[in-house]
Structure 1
């Protein structure tokens, strides 16, 4: 990437952080995609329509989802340049628009989750600090649908006695209310008793809080102990299980959207495909004309 492109990308990311409230991981993802665009184009800031029209061929070996994500980043970047008067035109109409189907989320069934909890609870009964930590992580992941970053970065005093919810600032710096079950409160409290009082994080790790990579490793190790293939389980899979099992239990889609922190209801609607059989049953049972033949 040229020095001029670096300066433009830095200005764009500064805007995303200040005006859109983009999180650090989102900014890093945008930078990677814009750098990939610069690698394919030579110069990303001054690329014209003919150059962008060649990206489809240059990226034909990539997954459609990757091409769509990179094109989206470039589209937003060029819109910013136009708005700021850094370009006189917006060439983004020439960007590739691959058609792809959004994959259904991987989930665990309720029985598999129960097995993971049973193993975690049995180990936590020993009182060993790491076993208590793992149970608290599992309770908060599956019981509240927290994102991995939200979970590992919880401050030490995030969970307060008598307060059955958290107020989190998630993606886009948007706040949402997250209910915390009594089970999760109890598990987190037992783990908290093993921590030094001056600590900053609920789940410390190294010089800061537990990393997302380490959380991923912990969750997969817990799955293996429960006899579940580790490659089927991740923090995000447990978040999907939280959503799908709530929907199966009758949760409203709008409520689920708020709990998960989705900006667009379309993101939440993917869970209706996962549990389509229950939705058909719901229509047959609840529709006003269901009992009229």
Structure 2
């Protein structure tokens, strides 16, 4: 149902499946017929887990029991016994421009060699697309071989929930992809092939962290998702419209995009001081203007 009717992504399906299997094991295989008391006992076993993890597990079970109830397989939905923990949204890790420059400096040295290694060309294409277009790791590794056209500054991507969006591709990224693609056989389905499939997200994480270490940046500060955050925060700091950023990132809810407005509060204050109709009459940074 989730795949056919709701277009849930493969990673979402895998997460739901894992949560349901674990819950079934905890209930001795009788998950479908558990009552509210059994569900409450199951939830008590989650007390040591993070709030976000509990929220995810509870969401999987709610969806499961709602489906059974709608199909008439159970008379009573026991999901009311599931907890509803608050999930505070954490501020994303952010890389400064200097850190990003250090990453690209290392890549520049490697790809400027007379005969650069194919692995370095691949890494350059990956980083250009992560930072230059804000792709998710799962979207990036699964790009078809012909997804990026040399004469088209965008690609149409199907992201979370099967939603399509238009993603801008910079001239630098297209050049990096073109340099890498000559090393990908024409009969390969993926732009970043590996074995019989495509590069895994885990391998992508390893490559990004190794690059960070070579650039003198602590690897725990850098990941594919951190580069996506950097794309968003740096665009926003440069004056990008929040709605346009939402579209480029593929966020269903603009509240998700608004998390990036924390990055440059100084710029926001300067914006109010310079653009507000009363800017000439006073300051909004706590220092009153002198007459």
State the TM-score, normalized to the length of structure 1.
0.90
Residues in 1 aligned to 2:18 and 2:135: alpha-carbon distance in whole angstroms:
25
Q: Which residue of 2 aligns with 1:19?
A: 5
Comparing 217-226 with 193-202, greater Cα deviation is found at 193-202
Aligned CA distance change for structure 1 residues 187 and 285 (closer, same or farther; 3 Å): same
Residues in 2 aligned to 1:212 and 1:58: alpha-carbon distance in whole angstroms:
30
Aligned CA distance change for structure 1 residues 286 and 130 (closer, same or farther; 3 Å): same
Residues in 2 aligned to 1:206 and 1:289: alpha-carbon distance in whole angstroms:
62
Q: Name stretches of at least 5 consecutive residues in structure 1 with no aligned partner.
A: 1-14
Aligned mate of 1:89, from 68, 76, 101: 76
Deviation at 1:115, TM superposition (A): 0.7
Within 5 A, what are the aligned runs for 1:49-60?
Answer: 49-60=36-47
Aligned CA distance change for structure 1 residues 185 and 56 (closer, same or farther; 3 Å): same
- Whether 1:221 and 2:210 are equivalent positions in the alignment is yes
Residues in 2 aligned to 1:211 and 1:264: alpha-carbon distance in whole angstroms:
28
Q: Which residue of 1 aligns with 2:132?
A: 143
Q: Which residue of 1 aligns with 2:104?
A: 117
Q: Which residue of 1 aligns with 2:184?
A: 195
Deviation at 1:156, TM superposition (A): 1.0
Deviation at 1:62, TM superposition (A): 0.8
Residues in 2 aligned to 1:44 and 1:274: alpha-carbon distance in whole angstroms:
44
Within 5 A, what are the aligned runs for 1:1-293?
Answer: 15-42=1-28, 43-126=30-113, 127-293=116-282
Residues in 2 aligned to 1:225 and 1:291: alpha-carbon distance in whole angstroms:
49
Residues in 1 aligned to 2:271 and 2:41: alpha-carbon distance in whole angstroms:
49
Aligned CA distance change for structure 1 residues 286 and 54 (closer, same or farther; 3 Å): farther
Residues in 2 aligned to 1:274 and 1:167: alpha-carbon distance in whole angstroms:
28
Deviation at 1:246, TM superposition (A): 1.0
Residues in 1 aligned to 2:9 and 2:170: alpha-carbon distance in whole angstroms:
27
Once superposed, what is the RMSD of the aligned Cα atoms? 1.5
CA contact under 8 A between 1:55 and 1:96: conserved in structure 2?
A: no
Residues in 2 aligned to 1:183 and 1:256: alpha-carbon distance in whole angstroms:
20
Deviation at 1:239, TM superposition (A): 0.6
Residues in 2 aligned to 1:264 and 1:205: alpha-carbon distance in whole angstroms:
34
For the residue of structure 2 that corresponds to 1:194, the secondary structure is coil
Instruction: Count residues with an aligned counterpart.
Output: 279
For the residue of structure 1 that corresponds to 2:167, the secondary structure is strand
Residues in 2 aligned to 1:134 and 1:100: alpha-carbon distance in whole angstroms:
35
CA contact under 8 A between 1:22 and 1:171: conserved in structure 2?
A: yes
State the TM-score, normalized to the length of structure 2.
0.91
Residues in 2 aligned to 1:197 and 1:74: alpha-carbon distance in whole angstroms:
44
Of Structure 1 and Structure 2, the greater helix share is in 1
Deviation at 1:38, TM superposition (A): 2.1
Q: Name stretches of at least 5 consecutive residues in structure 2 with no aligned partner.
A: 283-291
For the residue of structure 2 that corresponds to 1:167, the secondary structure is strand
CA offsets per residue over residues 9-43 of structure 1, 9 Å max, x none? xxxxxx00001111111100011111222233342
Q: Which consecutive segments of 4 or more residues in structure 1 shift more than 4 A?
A: none
For the residue of structure 2 that corresponds to 1:269, the secondary structure is helix
CA contact under 8 A between 2:136 and 2:228: conserved in structure 1?
A: yes
For the residue of structure 2 that corresponds to 1:190, the secondary structure is helix
Aligned CA distance change for structure 1 residues 153 and 100 (closer, same or farther; 3 Å): closer
CA offsets per residue over residues 239-266 of structure 1, 9 Å max, x none? 1111111111111211111111111112
